[in-house]
Structure 1
């Protein structure tokens, strides 16, 4: 038996990068996600590359922006390619997102604090 499940919660590092494929009608969205580790004393987050397809990608394109707090569930995969200059095989880890949860943005959080600081 093998299991490949990744669950992350963090803040989006930039606006969604959307790509539409006319021949197949598919849509792909790329995002970066900053996640802080509980055990790490440093303020530097871990960064993850996310890939979303289809309806999930469309939702991200409409509602996710830089700074949005999101939760994702998916699987780890590796994109591989040959380096153009050296010909060496390269790879990069990517989280293939199956489930996207919109948890809010920094602006939403700030507005809640302004309206009712007792909530935090």
Structure 2
């Protein structure tokens, strides 16, 4: 049950090609944005689609696979955990950032 405490599963479309950074120790970091959409009918019977954007972070071999295999528009399924961070911007304002640190992903489909 411990693994359920901070667990996220999403299926959506990539909004960008992976941004990959390589470090001295041969470690890689990939950042992606993932769009998930939900549709429903409003009170007037009109279809409404709402899209949520999620920041994804992948490390190591996952980052390498993302760099080699993923492109903007691809559909992927991910499993990971939420990580909340904060920082002070150049103007001295405290900013908050939420991301999903991905443990695994599967490419479900290519670009439409």
TM norm. shorter chain > 0.5: yes
The answer to whether residue 21 in structure 2 is matched with residue 10 in structure 1 is: no
TM-superposed CA distance for 1:38, in Å, is 4.9
Query: Deviation at 1:48?
Result: 0.3
Give 5+ residue unaligned stretches, structure 1.
108-120
Which has more strand, going by share of residues?
2
Q: Return 5+ residue gaps in structure 2 as ranges.
A: 42-46
The match for 1:19 is 21
Higher helix share: 1
In structure 1, the residue matched to 2:74 is 68
TM-score, length-scaled by structure 2: 0.85
- Equivalences for 1:40-59 in 2 at 5 Å? 42-59=48-65
How many residues align? The count is: 105
* 1:41-65 deviation per Cα after TM superposition (whole angstroms, max 9, x unaligned): 5334100000000001100110100
Contact 2:16 2:72 in 1 (8 A): yes
Runs of 4+ in 1 over 6 A off after TM superposition: none
Query: RMSD of the alignment, in Å?
Result: 1.8
